Structure 1
């Protein structure tokens, strides 16, 4: 995904260029947010721990917006710097609520006291 977003000729980059009309850009952003929210819902449905912090607290739409903002803002900074590091960092932070749910503990991983 990062490679796709970093490519200025990708459909993502082209849809956000000026001159494509605000209505089209708004529609594009709304569809991305809906896709991200749907993915978060699927992740929540598949978690044994009750969906992780993002979905458990009913914040799916907010987290989807944060992920989209990180994607767009990180992409902008990365395009300017010609380095994917800003995009990667922004996505890491935005995805934290999704990824920070407890993993089941493996008894073999316990250290002896």
Structure 2
């Protein structure tokens, strides 16, 4: 009888583990960048704990009608690949290590974290 209770409990625990949703992986930390507002002011944008493996077009610099963002700082624990093109397109990109940054000469519109 005890064996049956243990087997049922073990099966129930296994079912819970299998059905629990897994959390999406995310880079922990903050990604910062500087961009120019519509009024011509300099502003700082940031992404907190951004998702990994998903392209993110940077708000404030995400279209060709806007100037690209610049001076990205990768303060996350993941590698960030920044692109000059929106939607992580084009062959102009640069990789920032965790904790790394670039000067204002580096222009960006989108980023993906690994």
TM (normalized to structure 1)? Answer: 0.24
Larger Cα-atom Rg? 2
TM (normalized to structure 2)? Answer: 0.24
